[in-house]
Amino acid sequence: MDYMTLKEAAEKWGVTPRRVNYYCAAGRIPDAVKMAGVWLIPKNAEKPIDGRTKQGKGLHHE
């Protein structure tokens, strides 16, 4: 399996490396592994849905 770094995943998904690290630590990226203190993310991994947003829930701010 080919892997990418936090930085590469962050650039691919348009988020910060810190956010990708959070996804990994929370177990939200299947098959991500930590080796020698570095997260390795499968190149074919999908970006997890960001639970911080309320998109699609019909909430409107007026």
Residue 34 in domain? yes
Q: What is the mean pLDDT of residues 18-25?
A: 96
Distance CA 5, CA 40 (A): 5
Average pLDDT, the chain: 87
pLDDT of amino acid 61: 52
Residue range of the domain that includes 14: 3-42
pTM over 0.85: no
pLDDT of amino acid 53: 61
pLDDT in tens, 23-48: 999 999 999 999 999 999 999 999 99
Residue 12 in domain? yes
Residue 9 CA: distances (Å) to CA of 46, 50, 54, 56: 10, 15, 23, 25
**Residue of higher predicted confidence among 40 and 57:** 40
Residue 29 in domain? yes
Q: Which of 53, 55, 35, 32 is nearest to 43 (CA)?
A: 32
Residue 17 in domain? yes
Residue 49 in domain? no
Total number of domains constituting the chain: 1
